[in-house]
Amino acid sequence: MTGANKIGYYEIKNNIKVEVIKMAVKIRLTRMGAKKKPFYRIVVADSRTPRDGRAIQEIGFYDPTAEPALLKVDTDAAGYWLSKGAQPTDTVRALLKRAGVQANAKGVKKSEEVSKPDDETPAEPSDASE
Residue 126, pLDDT > 80, answer: no
Residue 77, burial from CB neighbour count under 10 angstroms (0-12, 13-18, 19+): middle
Q: Which helix (H) or strand (E) holds 94?
A: helix 90-99
Distance CA 127, CA 18 (A): 79
Which residue type, as a one-letter code, is found at position 98? R
pTM of the complete model? 0.63
DSSP 8-state secondary structure symbol assigned to residue 5: S
Identify the DSSP state of 42: E
Mean pLDDT of the chain: 77
Average pLDDT (52-78) is 91
Is pLDDT at 82 greater than 70 in this prediction?
A: yes
- The residue-averaged pLDDT of 3-24 equals 64
Q: Exposed/middle/buried for 22, CB within 10 Å: 0-12, 13-18, 19+? A: exposed
Residue-wise pLDDT for 14-62, tens only, equals 777 766 656 688 999 999 999 999 999 999 998 888 888 888 999 999 9
How far is residue 91's CA from residue 97's CA, in Å, rounded to a whole number?
Answer: 10
Residue 107 has pLDDT above 70, yes or no: no
**CB-CB neighbours of 81 under 10 Å:** 22
pLDDT(128) > 60: no
Strand partners for 61: 41, 72
